[in-house]
Amino acid sequence: MNQVKTLGLLALLSGLLVTIGYTLGGSGGALIGLIFAAVTNLVSWYSSDKIALAAYKAQPLKQSQAPELYSMVERLCQRADLPMPGLYLVPSNGANAFATGRDPQHAAVAMTQGIVDLLSPEELEAVIAHELTHVKNRDTLTQAVAATVAGGISYMAQVMQFGLMFGGGSRDRQGGNPIGAIAAIILAPMAASVIQMAISRTREFEADAGAARLTQNPRALASALQRLEAGARQMPMQANPSFEPLLIINPFSGQFLSGLFATHPSTEARIQNLLKLEQELGTGQGLQPLG
């Protein structure tokens, strides 16, 4: 059901890109928007890992640099029946992690120096299991496409704004509507962000559950999320907002939003779901609060 919902939201994003193209230049603009949507999706599909890793300045992590971490990831990949992803380290003291790549054969898992320093081995294993679940479910591609299309919508809105400011734009073209253009400039990027964030939220609960089953230790991920949120409040990560949905937790202090504008479900809700899953799996203390 979540997969269908995600596909529907991606279709809405692409449709929004076509609509803003029509507003920009009538039927010709709609065609441009359709082509732009196809190109951005194709570029995302081939280059999602490179785009996200470059955005966070992630550097390849060699096995000789972190042999225990490599062993941990290899063990989890064997359990999940996944190929070994590329491992990357983000030079940031902010504690976070993400996975990217168009498919399991081209996946990468990146973690900040801050998360390696902050979490216990069990908690870090749970976080990596969460990211590997994203890889297994191909959420990495879905989120990268959503981020790229949403970025394209924002770019086209800026083009429209520039055109209106300097006397051009859609008003001289068949099907153009200056009032519609103004509305699109304001509303289209906002709508794109809402849809992108909804896509992100649909994937996080499933990745949490997948990680809990993979490690058989839901409480470790619940504890990690609790510590990561506290860490983000104290030391926000310098991150690209377009790729924020890729991260395991919102990296920006003071921006733990709820509702339509939240990139992630609330940490409290995620923890409660994990503790319920712990009870179902019979692996721990169930609904007992975290220590």
Is residue 229 marked as binding? no
Cβ atoms of 89 and 110 closer than 8 Å = yes
Task: Indicate if the pLDDT at residue 226 is higher than 50.
Answer: yes
Mean pLDDT of the chain: 77
The Cα–Cα gap between 48 and 44 comes to 5
What is the maximum alpha-carbon separation in the chain? 67
Active-site residue, 131 included: yes
Residue 291 included in any domain: no
Residue 31 lies in a domain: yes
- The total number of structural domains in the chain stands at 1
Within-domain flag for 269? yes
Domain limits for position 253: 2-281
What pLDDT was estimated at residue 175?
45
Domain-embedded: residue 170 = yes
- Return the exposure string of 113-150: e unless at least 16 CB atoms fall within 10 Å of the residue's CB, then b: ebbbebbeeebbbbbbbbbbbbbbbbbbbbbbbbbbbb
Question: How far, in Å, CA of 288 to CA of 261, rounded?
Answer: 30
- In the block, which residue shows the tokens 């990268």? 144
Question: Counting Cβ atoms within 10 Å, is residue 161 exposed (0-12), middle (13-18) or buried (19+)?
Answer: middle
| 204 marked as part of a ligand binding site | yes
* H or E element that contains 281: helix 267-281
Residue 256 has pLDDT above 50, yes or no: no
Q: Would residue 63 count as lying in a domain?
A: yes
Across the range 179-200, mean pLDDT stands at 66
Higher pLDDT, residue 28 or 192: 192
Is 134 annotated to bind a ligand? Reply is yes
- Under the banding of pLDDT at 50, 70 and 90, the label for residue 247 is confident
Interstrand relation of 108-112 and 86-90 (parallel, antiparallel or unpaired): parallel
Is 236 inside any structural domain?
Answer: yes
pLDDT classification of 237: cutoffs 50, 70, 90: confident
Are 36 and 149 a contacting pair, CB within 8 Å? no
Whether 243 is covered by a domain: the verdict is yes
Mean pLDDT confidence for 168-183: 52
Residue with more model confidence, 130 or 261:
130
Alpha-carbon distance values, 14 to 8, 198, 241, 250 (Å): 10, 15, 20, 25
Q: What is the CB neighbour count within 10 angstroms for residue 72? A: 16
Q: One of 131, 229, 244, 278 is an active-site residue; which one?
A: 131
Task: Examine residue 77 and state whether it is found in any structural domain, yes or no.
Answer: yes
